């Protein structure tokens, strides 16, 4: 009698742990977040347009796109800070632009466009040296938090950037959007794994209590 009792208890315990594990896996899957996809859709430097006589115009026009790839999570963006560099010299920013914080629903995208004034670009030299391609650097720094149902995650920093090549028309050489990527390796993976361990541990504790 005690043998069968023990066996059934074991089976019960085992199935409980299995169920808990599966639940934990599900929770982890539904709590997992994906960073927004940031890309430069348009980039226009009038001074580099060989067919116009706007060589004295020292502005840059850009169109930034922000995509929320999460199926069921909103994103709260902090102030978006954009910094522009003339590629050969990444130590000195030539322009910057901020956009105010906002909320983006799941599966939504947003555009931010602006014409920014530049400073410290040796335009005469740049235009003279221009030979089909001039490279600019765009960096974006912000912080995001995700909205999962009624709950908000902690803020985490998002720093991405990309080189943008501009051709003889003053336009972005590549028609496709240029995705801003992070230079540093992501720590998200570690955090997700840690989260999974925490969830599993909690469930195992619960199992012991019941
Ligand atoms: C370049 O300048 C020409 C002449 O002003 C203009 O027609 C053309 O639209 C400009 N290119 C772009 C990409 O705006
Ligand atoms: C550009 O500026 C220079 C000097 O400031 C001036 O001589 C020239 O006429 C200007 N060109 C145009 C197209 O405005
Ligand atoms: C970048 O620009 C600054 C100021 O214009 C200059 O002092 C520095 O030498 C430049 N660096 C490079 C690598 O061109
Ligand atoms: C960037 O923005 C800050 C603050 O508005 C300003 O002080 C700085 O001069 C800007 N830099 C450039 C290159 O425009
Ligand atoms: C412009 O680029 C072409 C090919 O990319 C090269 O052959 C030529 O020497 C370049 N001219 C200058 C002035 O850099
Ligand atoms: C963006 O720039 C503003 C003003 O310069 C600054 O207060 C804020 O901390 C910056 N945000 C980030 C994420 O760096
Ligand atoms: C520059 O690139 C744009 C596409 O972004 C293209 O439409 C245009 O013809 C290119 N101009 C030159 C001179 O190659």
Average pLDDT over residues 16-45: 87
Nearest CA to ligand 4 atom 3: 96
Counting DSSP H helices and E strands in the chain, the numbers are 3, 12
For the Cβ of 131 lying below 6 angstroms from any atom of ligand 5, the answer is yes
Give the number of the atom of ligand 7 that is nearest the alpha carbon of residue 174. Answer: 5
DSSP state of 82: E
Enumerate the domain spans of the chain: 1-32+189-210, 34-188
pLDDT beyond 90 at 123: no
Q: What pLDDT sits at residue 23?
A: 84
For the Cβ of 128 lying below 6 angstroms from any atom of ligand 5, the answer is no
DSSP per position, 154-173: PPEEEEEEEEEEE-TEEEBS
Answer whether 179's CB lies under 8 Å from 38's CB: yes
Distances 186 to 29, 156, 160, 172 between C-alpha atoms, Å = 18, 11, 11, 28
For the Cβ of 159 lying below 6 angstroms from any atom of ligand 6, the answer is no
Q: What pLDDT sits at residue 159?
A: 96
Q: What pLDDT sits at residue 120?
A: 87
pLDDT beyond 60 at 190: no
Strand partners, 39: 65, 179
**What whole-number distance in Å separates Cα of residue 159 and Cα of residue 89?**
19
**What whole-number distance in Å separates Cα of residue 113 and Cα of residue 111?**
6
Domain range 34-188, CATH architecture: Sandwich (2.60)
Sign (positive or negative) of CA dihedral 94, 129, 182, 100: positive
Average pLDDT over residues 197-209: 63
Q: What are phi and psi of 17, to 5 degrees?
A: -65, -40
CA 180 and chain centroid, separation: 8
Nearest CA to ligand 7 atom 9: 169
Give me ligand 3 centre to Cα 36, in Å: 33
Give the number of the atom of ligand 2 that is nearest the alpha carbon of residue 53. Answer: 13
Q: 105 or 126: whose pLDDT is higher?
A: 105
Q: What pLDDT sits at residue 53?
A: 79
pLDDT of 78-114, one tens digit each? 999 999 999 767 788 999 999 999 999 999 999 999 9
Answer whether 80's CB lies under 8 Å from 112's CB: yes
């Amino acid at each position: 009698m005690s043998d069968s009792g023990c066996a059934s208890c074991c089976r019960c315990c085992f199935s409980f742990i299995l169920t808990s594990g599966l639940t934990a896996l599900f929770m982890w899957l539904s709590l997992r977040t994906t960073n927004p996809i940031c890309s430069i859709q348009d980039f226009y430097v009038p001074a580099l347009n060989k067919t116009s006589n706007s060589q004295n115009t020292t502005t840059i026009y850009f169109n930034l796109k922000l995509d929320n790839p999460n199926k069921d999570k909103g994103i709260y963006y902090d102030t978006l800070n954009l910094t522009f560099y003339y590629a050969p010299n990444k130590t000195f920013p030539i322009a910057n632009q901020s956009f105010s914080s906002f909320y983006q629903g799941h599966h939504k995208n947003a555009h931010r466009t602006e014409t920014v004034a530049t400073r410290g670009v040796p335009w005469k030299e740049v235009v003279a040296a221009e030979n089909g391609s001039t490279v600019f650097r765009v960096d974006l720094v912000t912080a995001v938090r995700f909205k999962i149902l009624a709950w908000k995650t902690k803020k985490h920093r998002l720093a991405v950037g990309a080189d943008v090549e501009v051709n003889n028309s003053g336009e972005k050489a590549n028609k496709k959007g240029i995705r801003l990527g992070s230079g540093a390796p992501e720590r998200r993976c570690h955090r997700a794994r840690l989260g999974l361990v925490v969830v599993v541990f909690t469930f195992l504790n619960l199992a012991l209590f019941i």
